[in-house]
Amino acid sequence: MIKHIRLFFQGALLSYKALFRWLRPVTYLASKIIMPLNQILFFTFLGMYASGQQNASFYIIGNAVQMAAISGIYGVTMSIGGDRWEGTLPYLFGTPSNRLVLFFGRGFFHILDGFLGVWIGLFLGVILLGLDLSAANFPALLLIILVTTFSTSGLGLLLGCLSLITRNVMFVNNTVYFLLLIFAGANVPIETLPSWMRSISYALPLTRGISTTRAAVAGETGSVIMPVLSQEFLIGLGYMLLGFILFRWFEQAAKRRGTLEAM
């Protein structure tokens, strides 16, 4: 057990440090500060203009929570896909270490990074756009953001495995990220979407995370938030398990064919 715990944290740290392309301060700041700021400002002002509403909190909160997808999708995908891009995938497949520990460890530091990113987005909303957190349920808010970054990283683990069987995973990542802007309720109320879009929305991470964050900021209690938040956690766990199944399939196919080109 101790060996697996050590392997989990060592693998998580090394994959973050060695394969994570945001370790350059300029690149990291552009991804974690400049890009979130631009997104929050753009969609907040656009949404207020289009809807005629003066309350900007709907758009600020939605886009701040969306920041979890930067680490959860792009970061996790680069951590997994980086093994192939940097030529370390054969060593990963050759090690006798527990695959489940190695796989889930790829997302650990990105969950923490995404947690920080959401708070940065909320902070920017407070100081620049006057987001009011005076009535917020902060204990619930902390838990919501943590669970939301976890569930989003689950989707990232699944997309990361696609990077093992495709050469253009960034196209997939960008498509998923921008679809989340619509389907997850960051900028468009879920209840206004057509029924087929709502069905997709409720199968995605972030959807419940965004709605419960808005509820926590409004001061709702845990009895209202927890049932929805538990669904968010289970959705993220489901995506992680699907990603692990795909990861194991790729490993077996690569070993059987004697090549890392599984497709």
Q: Which tens digit of pLDDT belongs to each residue from 83-130?
A: 677 666 666 666 777 777 777 777 888 888 889 999 999 999 999 998
Residues whose CB is less than 8 angstroms from the CB of residue 132 and which lie 6 or more positions away in sequence, other chains included: 57
- C-beta of residue 144 within 8 angstroms of C-beta of residue 221: no
pLDDT at 174: 87
- C-beta of residue 211 within 8 angstroms of C-beta of residue 190: yes
Cα distance between residue 169 and residue 172, in whole Å: 5
Identify which has the larger pLDDT, 256 or 34.
Answer: 34
pLDDT at 170: 79
Residue 221 pLDDT > 50: yes
Q: Alpha helix (H) ranges present in 106-168?
A: 108-129, 138-162
Identify which has the larger pLDDT, 236 or 169.
Answer: 236
Tokens of 225: 């938030």
- C-beta of residue 99 within 8 angstroms of C-beta of residue 247: yes
- C-beta of residue 110 within 8 angstroms of C-beta of residue 118: no
Residue 20: CB atoms within 10 Å: 19
Residue 226: CB atoms within 10 Å: 14
pLDDT (mean) for 130-136:
90
Q: pLDDT class for 262, splitting at 50, 70, 90?
A: very low
pLDDT at 260: 58
pLDDT at 184: 92
pLDDT at 244: 87
Identify which has the larger pLDDT, 15 or 107.
Answer: 107
Residue type, 82: G
- The share of the chain scoring above pLDDT 70, in percent, equals 84
Q: For 185, which DSSP code?
A: S
Is pTM beyond 0.75 here? yes
pLDDT at 150: 93
Residue 82: CB atoms within 10 Å: 20
Residue 209 pLDDT > 90: yes
Cα distance between residue 227 and residue 235, in whole Å: 13
Helices vs. strands in the chain: H and E counts, helices first: 14, 0
Cα distance between residue 142 and residue 208, in whole Å: 15
Q: Express each pLDDT in 38-91 by its tens digit.
A: 999 999 998 888 777 667 899 999 999 999 998 888 888 877 777 677 666 666
Residue 222: CB atoms within 10 Å: 13
pLDDT at 59: 93
Mean pLDDT of the chain, nearest integer: 84
SS3 7: helix
